[in-house]
Amino acid sequence: MSGVITRRRLLAGGAALAGGGVLFGWLGYRRAEAAVADRAAALTDTRGGRLLAGWVRIDEDGAVTVYVPHVDMGQGTQTALAMQLIEEMDGDWDRVSVAPAPADPAFANWFLALAYTRENGELPGAEAGWLDPVFRIAARRMHMQLTAGSTAVRTTGEFGFRLIGAAIRAVMVDSAAAALGVPAAELSVDSGQVTHAQTGRALDFGTLAADAATRALPARPRQKAVPERWLTGRPRAGLDIPGKVTGRTRYAIDIALPGMLHATVRHPPVRGHRLEAVDLAAARAVPGVVDALVEDNTLFVLADSHWHAEQGADVARPRFAGPAGPSSAALTGDRLAALDTGPWTEVEVQGEPAEMAGTMADADLFDVTLDVPYLHHATLEPMNATARMQDGKLDVWIGHQDPLGARADAATLTGLAFEDVTLHPCPIGGSFGLRVRTAPEASGPLRQVCLLARHAAPRAVKLIWPRDQDMKQGRYRPAATSRIRIGSDATGLPVLWDQTYTEGVVAREIAHPIPYAIPHQRFRSVPRRDPVTVGAFRGVNASQHGFWREAALDAWCAARGADPLDIRLRLLSGDARGTAVLGALADVLGPAAGAPGTGRGLGYAEGFGGTRCAVGFDLTADGPRPRILRTVAVVDCGQVVNPLSAAQQVEGAIVQAVSTALAERITLTGGAVDQSYLSDYGVIGMDAAPRGAEVIFILSDAPPSGLGESAFPPVSSALLEALAQATGDRRASLPLM
């Protein structure tokens, strides 16, 4: 996913605050914060308990509920975030549960801004806490509650929840000291109890919560040094697992309200096509259908069940017409031509690449062109949302990566005041960039369900995109092409990296630095607009840039007869963490079998806050499709909070990346998407998936860095190299099967 906050965005938010007269004096700020605290308490179930620090409820019996401002997409971060907080609190892990933070400014994630300034060493004073008011107010104004960019543990956890846990521990000690009449320095905290060793008296957090909630929290309490941490690095079962196993967890698609209508949709198959004809009367005549309507050039059918709505949409026979759009082959040709004709945007230059290329002999230059297709997220849970408009109020149930921002969008879309909209965040059955805010929320389920709720008021409406609509109306990873020229010198190492690429409109001018010490580098992009809607995917642009970089280096090594591992180690010689990861991968893999029809490939990537990840495959191509024999991943992501969920994230990223590399693609004919279901899209089955993965973490005291997306970028090139060794055929495009 894309970066959570930029310096420009943060400063623009601060300017808006000052310009709008919202930057209060200290007294005004304290009053505003008190009002926010009251609102946060009112939005959480505090009967029999107290809300502390705005994020943690402690009940009288000592049970702790942590309100998490990141949506659950199955990545395990809710458990890891709770571990970071409880560790600093010295709470009782066996009494902890998590809940989604309400989509309200009182729960805006200001820790993201705090983390940005501290990670980048900017805005002196952030460490001392004097900028906290700016962070808090800006996050609320910007409706900041985003889950993206592998940021939860490394930002919200490290810069937020650890701070909160330490602050709560401090006020618990102060409350116990007052209640016991002893100095705070004589007290110790363990498993949710504050104990005075000299007298043996102890008070638990549940007893202390009411008084602790009245005390001022320290702005920068003492946090545990790494050796003092007792939860970090210890495997813990996911707090979300029991609800998912038993079915108690309710995704948005599970929402059922009394008297609710069910809606389905038929979109134009090609961008720009118009609805030319539709038989609304036939749809309304279907038993169970309540209404059929056309809005935004799209057919909607409302019924007493989704099945009846689908029947109504089928008999309505919507017919869309317009000029034919491009097909995949033509688009690939256009991308290739664009690399030659431009116009080019120079993204980044290091050294003197143009001069270096001009002095090199042809024998020292190597060119390769690589291509990746459109990819769909192909989530298990199709796009959906439920909404009810009643008495001038709107309620929305949706799985969204930015619930607070989605609430603001719902208010805009309906013309209601922000305070008259309630958004109920739901866990998400798959996303990785699919369910994020778009500029106009143009054709997504949020916009559509708001429209339908107004039409059907006061009855609730549940909209589900059927699988074929979900597949054909995705927000795809862009199809993208890159040409890379590598130049080498007498040492046998690359000294020139000259790359031109075109990847649609997504972050086309963002630099994607290579991790290798190549002195002369140039990156140029060719801006172009895609004929389909494109957006973020797992790994964002690193998914295609990682493939291009590693596949190009492998092709150069093959042409030069160089060892891919040796070259990478030499190019990473100045990075001890990177060489340790690659060295560990080589040690675990051991010597390659080298048997006919077998191959080995490895890939390396850095990113998401400094994570280093290397992935290696052994496979055989002795059948109709390649068979992966062994999969090994070595990761240095700093401190690993929960090794259990961390390994699962790496495994999940590898399986998804293998599927996209081997078989997945979206193709176009006349501008329309050809694929309709998971079966014809290409998601691999168990027969082609890796038979498990060996995941090794390089343990360090470095702060945690991103993990959920880090193992995705190096997979595709590693598979390509392994197949090239097994078959002698080096492909230049994905998918490989």
Measured in degrees and rounded to the nearest 5, phi and psi for residue 130 equal -75, -15
pLDDT at 700 over 90: no
The answer on pLDDT for 498 being more than 50 is yes
What CATH number does the domain located at 252-322+383-464 have? 3.30.365.10
CATH architecture of 7-236: 2-Layer Sandwich (3.30)
Does residue 200 sit in helix, strand or coil?
coil
> Using an 8 Å Cβ cutoff, are 493 and 556 in contact?
no
How does pLDDT run across 511-532, given as a tens digit for each residue?
A: 788 999 999 999 999 988 889 9
Q: Which amino acid is at 42?
A: A
- 134-177: pLDDT as tens digits: 888 889 999 999 998 888 999 999 999 999 999 999 999 999 99
Residues contacting residue 170 through CB under 8 Å, at least 6 positions apart? 217, 218, 221, 222
Question: What global pTM score does this model have?
Answer: 0.93
Spatial distance between the Cα atoms of 664 and 374, rounded to a whole number of angstroms:
9
The CA distance from 737 to 373, in Å, is: 13
Distance CA 612, CA 589 (A): 18
First-to-final CA distance of the chain: 27
- Give the tokens for residue 455: 């039409």
Q: What is the mean pLDDT of the chain?
A: 91
Per-residue pLDDT, averaged over 95-107, amounts to 97
Tokens representing 205 are 């957090």
pLDDT at 504: 74
What are the backbone dihedrals phi and psi of residue 526, each rounded to the nearest 5 degrees, phi first? -115, 105
Tokens of 510: 């963002």
Map tokens 């042409």 to a residue.
559
The whole-number average pLDDT for the span 371-384 is 96
User: Rounded distance, CA 310 to CA 287, Å?
Assistant: 12
Query: How would residue 30 be classed by pLDDT, with cut points 50, 70 and 90?
Result: confident
Which residues, other chains included, contact 690 with Cβ-Cβ below 8 Å and sequence gap of 6+?
617, 628, 631, 654, 655, 658
**CA atoms of 303 and 286, how far apart (whole Å):** 9
Give start-end residues of each CATH 3.30.365.10 domain in the chain.
Answer: 7-236, 252-322+383-464, 342-375+476-727
Which residues neighbour 21 within 8 Å (Cβ) at sequence distance 6 or greater? none
* pLDDT, average across residues 92-105: 97
- Average pLDDT (611-624) is 94
Task: Give tens-digit pLDDT for 313-323.
Answer: 999 999 999 99
Per the structure block, which two tokens stand in for 605?
A: 């990537």
335: left (phi over 0), alpha (psi -120 to 50) or beta: alpha
CA distances from 155 to 33, 52, 432, 608 (A): 22, 20, 18, 11
> Which residues, 6+ apart, have CB-to-CB distance to 515 below 8 Å?
572, 575, 578, 604, 605, 606
For residue 613, give both structure tokens: 């990840």
Lowest mean pLDDT among 67-71, 353-357, 554-558: 353-357
**Residue 323 token pair:** 């000029």
> Distance between CA atoms of 387 and 447, rounded to whole angstroms?
10
232-268 pLDDT, tens digit each? 999 999 999 999 999 999 999 999 999 999 999 999 9
- 587: Cα separation from own chain's centroid: 31
- What's the average model confidence in pLDDT over 120-128? 53
What is the average per-residue pLDDT within 383-401? 97
Cis omega before residue 735 (within 30°)?
A: yes
CATH code for the domain defined by 342-375+476-727:
3.30.365.10
559 against 688, higher pLDDT: 559
